[in-house]
Amino acid sequence: MRVLGLIPARGGSKGIPGKNLKVLGGKPLLQFTAETALASRMLSKVVLSSDDSDIMHAAASMGIEVPYKRPAELAQDQTPTLPVVQHAISYYEGQGEYFDAVCLLQVTSPFRTTALLDAAVKKFIAHKLDSLVSVLKVPHEFNPHWTFKADDSGLLTIATGDEQLIPRRQELPDAYHRDGSIYITRTPVIMEQQSLYGSKMGFIESSPENHVNIDTIADWKKAEELLKLNSK
């Protein structure tokens, strides 16, 4: 199976200006994802999708392929991920190159490992999934069986629709949330179903001890702290 490793990195970060090239632990944030992806044995090609010339030049110096500049209309604050991925697929198909799936690797998750990435792709292939996402377990206090929503009259009902609360933590089923590190999707699902998920979605668990998804200054400080802890 041919899997395209796609790293999206637009230039207009608002929460942390210049985030993708901001130095974390002595190297640009982008470099963490670049090194992990390039070391993978399961990705057929690793490419950048960016509208920013500085990011493009930096990525090329790291060994990432930079085949095109992302159109400005696909690099706005509110641009969804799906059309960015579709643009990459369409570009390569226009060049006569085809991929069975795309593995989306966001720069904001710098601490995923190559071992996790390769395990994710192997599981995706072995289980013939439409998609696979990396996840973390939801703390029990936020489990959907223990959370509520308000109805029109202002009364609470269990979010899952259950009539009774599960009484003991030990009886709660595991629940997960996407952690943003890895998204893998079959090309037909992306192009024909207009989805990053499809109907058969698998998962792989990330390590909570080394996870951060950098969107705010507080997240950046957490990443710096994790680097300090891991260097000791």
pLDDT digits (tens, 9 = 90+) for 165-181: 999 999 999 999 999 99
Q: How far apart are CA 151 and CA 157, in angstroms?
A: 7
Q: Which of 200, 214, 194 is nearest to 85 (CA)?
A: 194
**What is the layout of strands, in order, in the sheet containing 45-49?**
45-49, 3-8, 101-104, 176-186, 131-137, 201-205
Each residue's pLDDT tens digit, 197-231:
999 999 999 999 889 999 999 999 999 999 988 87
* Number of Cβ atoms within 10 Å of the Cβ of 77: 8
What are the residues whose beta carbons fall under 8 Å from the beta carbon of 220, sequence distance 6 or more? Answer: 16, 22, 24, 214
pLDDT bin (cut points 50, 70, 90) of residue 60 is very high
Work out the number of other CB atoms within 10 angstroms of the CB of residue 151: 9
- Based on the number of CB atoms within 10 Å of its own CB, is 114 exposed (0-12), middle (13-18) or buried (19 or more)? middle
pTM of this structure: 0.93
What pLDDT sits at residue 232? 65
d(CA 184, CA 128): 12
E strand segments, the chain: 3-8, 23-24, 27-28, 45-49, 101-104, 131-137, 148-150, 156-158, 176-186, 201-205
Token digits of residue 128: 């013939």
